[in-house]
Amino acid sequence: MTSHDMVEYRIAHLLDRLAREDLAELGVRVEAHGAGVLVRGGVSSPECRAEVLRFAAEELAGLEWREDVTVCRPGPPDHSEELS
Amino acid sequence: MIRVAAVGDIHLGPGSAGALRPAFATLGDCADLLLLAGDLTRHGTREEARVVAGEVAGLGVPVIAVLGNHDYQSDQEEAVAQELTAVGVHVLEGTGTVLDVGGTKVGVAGTKGFCGGFAGRSGSEFGEPEMKAFIRYTRTCADGLAGALRELREGGCDLRIALTHFAPVPDTLAGEPLEIYPFLGSYLLAEAMDEAGADLAVHGHAHSGTEHGMTAGGVRVRNVAMPVIDRAFAVYHLPGRVEAPAGP
């Protein structure tokens, strides 16, 4: 068995690539989940989301993986918090 | 009443210019100041910082910022700070600034801060030079924050806010894997806030954390990382200066 087959190293390599390449994305979580891998988190733009999923597809090729990556809403708040 | 808007981890760069401007343009109606809790850029380049500057220039409310670890990635943190300062942003690192908001003196003390973990489960200044330097750096950030908070108190501020990028407490990390808590913040920041005193602490960095927490000494802590608050900024209302009752 090579490191390519071991899920935990594949996950670590994906996280390392997300952080080090142009994306510089440290806020996405990648974890073994069920029989496969789950990629999840909130990112700042649809383009960023697409890049995360592209990297995931490359690094997790051959594994069963799912994603739940959302894009943060940049709208103004609809409420405030009172701190007495 | 003082209306404090805050957000961190906006991670702007070329391509995202204008993304937050429509929301930030509403700040004049709902807030008296805007706090930026670091990670304003992706890679910490001057070019990215110009995008951030463009988003927050001329908003009509004072903008106070600390930088985050992403803003240090290209070793251009001074250039990032310069670009922000050029459009009037107060960039803090072991320093404070005082604003007059309708007669209330609002002080903001800030540091990026650093990590190392939380009380009982933290790294210490022991062993290899790298390990000692790691924790010493966190301590330097915390000492800078405490010093800035004390200066604000001595300067007669009615309200004091501690602004960091890294988390001062584990409360607001709930949702993050426990294993990475030591990389998300340090109790030294909370200890500095509790010793020097603060009315509110605001931080970012922990994208999967939660908004609400409190230091051991009772300072309310808010994680305003944009993925956590899921909006362009959060707004907190704090009581302003209480006027002494008029004499007879």
pLDDT digits (tens, 9 = 90+) for B47-80: 999 999 999 999 999 999 999 999 999 999 999 9
Q: What ipTM does the predicted assembly reach?
A: 0.89
Q: What's the CA gap between B229 and B207, in Å, rounded?
A: 9
pLDDT at B185 exceeding the cut of 60: yes
Domains and CATH numbers, chain A: 7-71 (3.30.1340.30)
Q: Which residues of B touch A (CB under 8 A)?
A: 3, 9-12, 15-16, 19-20, 23, 26, 30, 42-43, 70, 73, 177, 200, 207-208, 220, 225-227, 229-239
User: What residue numbers bound the domain in which B78 lies?
Assistant: 2-238
Identify the DSSP state of B75.
S
Q: How many domains does chain B have?
A: 1
Q: Is residue B248 assigned to a domain?
A: no
Q: Is residue B7 assigned to a domain?
A: yes
- Tell whether the torsion through CA atoms of B38, B208, B169 and B74 is positive or negative: negative
Rg of chain A over Cα atoms, rounded to whole angstroms, equals 16
Instruction: Give pLDDT, residue A3.
Output: 56
Nearest partner of B211 among B173, B237, B180, B182, judged by Cα: B173
List the single residue in A29, A72, A73 with the smallest CB-CB distance to B208.
A29
The beta strands (E) that lie in chain B are given as 2-7, 33-37, 63-66, 90-91, 95-101, 104-111, 117-118, 121-122, 159-164, 200-203, 212-214, 220-223, 234-238
Q: Is residue B116 assigned to a domain?
A: yes
Q: Which residues of A touch B (CB under 8 A)?
A: 22-24, 26-27, 29, 41-45, 47, 72-84
A with B: how many residue pairs have Cβ under 8 Å apart?
83
Mutate to test the interface with B, among A22, A44, A68 (most CBs of B within 10 A): A44
Q: Is residue B244 assigned to a domain?
A: no
Q: Is residue B212 assigned to a domain?
A: yes
pLDDT digits (tens, 9 = 90+) for A39-81: 999 888 888 899 999 999 999 999 999 999 999 888 999 999 9
Is B66 in contact with B93 (CB distance < 8 Å)?
A: yes
pLDDT digits (tens, 9 = 90+) for A2-45: 655 689 999 999 999 999 888 888 889 999 999 899 999 988 88
CATH of the domain at B103: 3.60.21.10
| B157-183 average pLDDT score | 97
